[in-house]
A and B are shown apart, each in its own frame.
Chain A
Amino acid sequence: MTTTAPTTTTVLDATDVTMRFGGLTAVRSVDLTVNSGEIVGLIGPNGAGKTTFFNCLTGLYVPTEGKVSYKGTVLPPKPHLVTQAGIARTFQNIRLFANMTVLENVLVGRHTRTKEGLWSALLRLPGFKRAEEASRERAMELLEFTGLAAKADHLARNLPYGEQRKLEIARALASEPGLLLLDEPTAGMNPQETRAAEELIFAIRDKGIAVLVIEHDIRFIMNLCDRVAVLVQGEKIVEGPAEVVQADERVIAAYLGTPFEGAPGQEEAAEVAAAEAHSTTEGDDK
């Protein structure tokens, strides 16, 4: 039964996830799997329910129906337990601990992977110093990895925007996740920063961490993702490789709308364009 392809295991398996707020169904029976070593994209127009779906995955919301399991075990509906299980996330609007230093932010991310409690801290038991040092070392490694090591002692609030995004990723990685959920990691970034983010996400994938990413930037997601799922009005309409999704009529319709009856064909459109060009040149002459 040995296959040539590396054994891919399912990291995240969301089946039939539905989230209702009162009468509003924000997410309607969405199935999604993420396999190890994969980067999966989740796209959709504004208000499609992407972030709501994310919150269902991370335990921030308890799904009305359906279940989410991570590596075969059903996830408890508490954010800190989800993180402990091995899913880390970033936020769409950056949520760093603004008045802590960069290093402290990452150290907080280590919370679930360390055990030293209050007694250990008060009595400075022998394990305490060792655990602190190990945490610090690991945090510095992550800062090196994301290129923030030089700013370890700066306050998080004083970092420029792009670096705050990076720090959020470093903080999430500190919890040693098997799956990283990124909520619009390139929102508000310029093309260079976007490219850097892309490389960072590839590097994270190469560390053996599966990535699920929400994004608006279609070009970014098409470069990045092995598989893309499209969410429209709370429903998953298509899932597949980037090219397939890009060519799908329903996706185009969702983003650009469907042509209506008597809509201008290509010829009419060309005519209109020509007429406009003509009138502007006339205007310049006067």
Chain B
Amino acid sequence: MTTRTPTTDATAKAATAPAPPIVPLPPAAARAVTVAGSAVAFVGTFLAWTWTDEFPGNLTVTGYPGGLQVLTLVGALLTLLFVLSGYGVRGLGWLTPGGTNSPVLLTALGVLGTTGYAMGAISQELGGLVNLEPGAWVSGIGALVAVIGALGLPADQPYDADEPHPGLWGRIRHSLTAPEPARAKDLPSWAEILIIAAGFGIGLYVFAYGIGTEYSELFVGFLIMAAFGFTAVTRAGLLRRLSALTAKHRNVTLAAAFVAAICFPFTQSNDQFALIGANILIFATVALGLNVVVGLAGLLDLGYVAFLGVGAYAAALVSGSPQSSIGVHFPFWAAVLTGALASLIFGVVIGAPTLRLRGDYLAIVTLGFGEIFRITMNNLNGNSGPDVTNGSNGIPNIPDLKVLGFDLGVPHDVLGHELTRSGNYYLLMLLFTAVVVMVFRRSAESRIGRAWVAIREDETAATAMGINGFRLKLLAFALGACLAGLAGTVQAHVSYSVTPEQYQFAGSVPPNSAFLLAAVILGGMGTISGPLIGAALLYLIPAKLQFMAEYQLLLFGAALMLLMRFRPEGLVADRRKQLEFHDTGQLDVPDDKPLPDGATGVAKAGA
């Protein structure tokens, strides 16, 4: 008690003193150096970076940036914009409602990262630094100068009161933080809707660019630039502004996201990339279904992929495939209902005995049931059991779907754009994703959803509130299973065949149970966009970086550990999780007022 007053004084002092920059430069000079550096890096992208077009992307043409050069160019441009906004240039202030200097540093680091990676990749693949043309050096040195300049900019916020003198590492980390932006002025609602649309447009463009990267060097460069750029945009407070708008216009946001997603297959002329899109949607939809079970009801299900398998097998059996043991051909809607119903029944049958268990026990038992499904499908081959599934050969030759006379198997011309087979399935799957999003959203915001969350929080208290724990857990389990089954029916048709090996606990190709769970946790439990983003990343990165397939699980594990260390609430956090893991100042503690002198005196006398 006696030391309280002095500490408050000290924290007050620390709070007012601005944090010094890491590189001691006057702010004006630092700014000028950053501008100069990024301008040089920008100019460098117009020069040739190497002499031969053996390096993919053709970086040899002067005056026409290509491949990795474009990424550096975009990054340098972003850096310039952020610095100029920091100068207070009129019309750019909206760019940095939150931090001004940390976004500059982040984008500068991104430029340095991509340029440095490009230079490294060129010299490694072509054999030596000599293969670099001056343009690469210009950009590289420009990026380095920009980073040094950005390190000279003062930090956006004073040091934490509880750590007033951090070490070098602490100072670097601190220079990357930024305060939250203030509340934005209310714009007319059409303007806000336009901003949301523009946000989703940019998001779609970045995503489509990432999927459409033709070679892995470009994808790595894209990942570096996207990660730094995204963090910069977050630090600048733009993301917070945008999410405030999306929270205000939720239906508009959903519509915009949906429209952006519809536009995706039209941006891809290559069927292979559209197929990646369709597979991402399948993976994401199943992850969202799992989110009902894990995120809302808190039931750790490690065998969830089995429900996808049940849906897929059911759809395959009634698809009219010549190898199907049931020689029927259901129309599409009936096949979907069959798949969903089969999964639902399977979910209830598995859930009824297992949901009496809690926590770790449930996880182990569901893991077991997931494997039982796969092994059973393997054994129903005519030798070990009745011939239903052709064993490990699976059910191949699943014919393409025809929906309302529209053959999904052949390309179609829509408004002058060719929609490939994968594009067709992508759009069909998108419809299912929309249904699942709606189911998730509506059930979460209801009496049932609240009861699920209550069970997750404290099951004993929930039952004492009159919630029939077992019934509601079974409901969540069955609903999750049904949604996965829905996705499974489309998956069977997209991939032409179903085999037991597609539905493992862990494997190199998503979706499998481990990756599904990882998508939910990585993205953010209990949110809608979280599992969608998590699934997209988890599918896209291995699909694009084929060369590191051997190390995939290792890298995956490392990424998960880093994420759990630095962002335990997942990439997308709902407000609840944000409050759970981080102090955001919303604690209901009254302001820390220094005690009156009298109180101090009494305490001293007492001591």
Contact = CB atoms under 8 A, between A and B. Distances in A.
A80 B468 CA distance: 6
Contacts of A111: 447, 450-451, 454, 465-467
Interface of B: 438-439, 442-443, 445-451, 453-454, 457-458, 460-469, 475, 479, 576-577, 579-580, 586-588
A258 B562 CA distance: 63
Interface of A: 58, 60, 78-80, 83-84, 88-89, 91, 95-100, 104, 107-112, 114, 116-118, 120-122, 124, 128, 131-132, 135, 151, 154-155, 157-160, 171-172, 175
A275 to B, nearest CB: 29
B448 A83 contact: no
Given A122-B442, A124-B442, A154-B586, A108 B448 contact: no
Given A96-B461, A111-B450, A128-B446, 16 more contacts: A60-B460, A80-B464, A80-B467, A91-B461, A95-B460, A99-B577, A108-B462, A110-B447, A111-B465, A118-B443, A118-B475, A122-B443, A124-B442, A154-B588, A158-B587, A172-B465
22 contacts: A60-B464, A80-B463, A80-B468, A83-B466, A84-B466, A88-B464, A89-B464, A96-B458, A97-B457, A98-B457, A108-B462, A111-B447, A111-B467, A116-B447, A118-B446, A120-B446, A121-B446, A122-B442, A132-B447, A135-B447, A160-B588, A171-B465
Contacts of A175: 465-466
Contacts of A110: 447
Nearest to B589: A160
B576 A100 contact: yes
Nearest to A120: B446
B457 A99 contact: yes
Given A83-B466, A99-B576, A108 B450 contact: yes
Given A80-B463, A111-B451, A114-B447, A100 B457 contact: yes
A91 B461 CA distance: 8
B466 A95 contact: no
Contacts of B586: 154-155, 158
Contacts of B448: 116-118, 121
Contact of A158 (B442, B445, B475, B588): B588
B477 to A, nearest CB: 13
A116 B446 CA distance: 8
A120 B586 CA distance: 34
B7 to A, nearest CB: 22
Contacts of B442: 121-122, 124
Contact of A121 (B449, B464, B465, B467): B449
A79 B463 contact: yes
Contact of B450 (A60, A107, A120): A107
A279 to B, nearest CB: 25
A245 to B, nearest CB: 29
Contacts of B439: 122
Contacts of A98: 457-458
B450 to A, nearest CB: 5
A122 to B, nearest CB: 5
Given A58-B464, A151-B588, A158-B588, A118 B458 contact: no
A110 B451 CA distance: 10
Contact of B443 (A83, A109, A121): A121
A109 B463 CA distance: 10
B450 A100 contact: yes
Contacts of A96: 458, 461
B84 to A, nearest CB: 39
B106 to A, nearest CB: 31
Contact of A104 (B450, B460, B577): B450
Smallest CB-CB A-B distances: 9 pairs: A112-B466, A121-B446, A83-B466, A95-B461, A97-B457, A79-B463, A108-B454, A80-B468, A80-B466
A121 B464 CA distance: 23
Contacts of B469: 80
A97 B453 contact: yes
Contacts of A78: 463
Residue from A60, A79, A117, A157 having most chain B Cβ neighbours under 10 A: A79
B460 to A, nearest CB: 7
A155 B463 CA distance: 21
Contacts of A114: 447
Given A107-B450, A111-B447, A95 B458 contact: yes
B293 to A, nearest CB: 14
A160 B589 CA distance: 8
A18 to B, nearest CB: 22
Contacts of A120: 446
A122 B466 CA distance: 22
Given A99-B576, A155-B576, A108 B465 contact: yes
A172 B450 CA distance: 16
Residue from B463, B465, B579 having most chain A Cβ neighbours under 10 A: B465
A107 B452 CA distance: 13
A121 B472 CA distance: 14
Contacts of A60: 460, 464
Nearest to B588: A158
A170 to B, nearest CB: 12
Given A97-B453, A175-B465, A118 B576 contact: no
Contacts of A112: 465-466
B464 A118 contact: no
B115 to A, nearest CB: 44
Contact of A97 (B438, B461, B463): B461
Residue from B439, B442, B446, B479 having most chain A Cβ neighbours under 10 A: B446
Nearest to A83: B466
A83 B464 contact: yes
B587 to A, nearest CB: 5
Nearest to A58: B464
B255 to A, nearest CB: 17
Given A116-B446, A116-B447, A124-B442, A99 B468 contact: no
Contact of A109 (B458, B460, B465): B465
B465 to A, nearest CB: 5
A169 to B, nearest CB: 13
B467 A108 contact: yes
Residue from B445, B447, B453 having most chain A Cβ neighbours under 10 A: B447
A259 B475 CA distance: 60
A157 B458 CA distance: 13
B463 A121 contact: no
Contacts of A159: 588
A286 to B, nearest CB: 23
A100 B464 contact: no
Contacts of B454: 97, 100, 108, 111
A135 B458 CA distance: 21
Contacts of A157: 580
Contacts of B467: 80, 108, 111
Contacts of A97: 453-454, 457-458, 461-462
Contacts of A79: 460, 463-464
A157 B586 CA distance: 11
Contacts of A100: 450, 453-454, 457, 576
Nearest to B438: A122
A68 to B, nearest CB: 15
A5 B464 CA distance: 34
Nearest to A151: B588
Residue from B446, B447, B448, B466 having most chain A Cβ neighbours under 10 A: B466
A278 B256 CA distance: 87
Contacts of B464: 58, 60, 79-80, 83, 88-89, 91, 95
Nearest to B457: A97
Contacts of A80: 463-469
A91 B587 CA distance: 24
Nearest to A155: B579
Contacts of B465: 80, 83, 88, 108-109, 111-112, 171-172, 175
A9 to B, nearest CB: 23
Contacts of B466: 80, 83-84, 109, 111-112, 175
Nearest to B451: A111
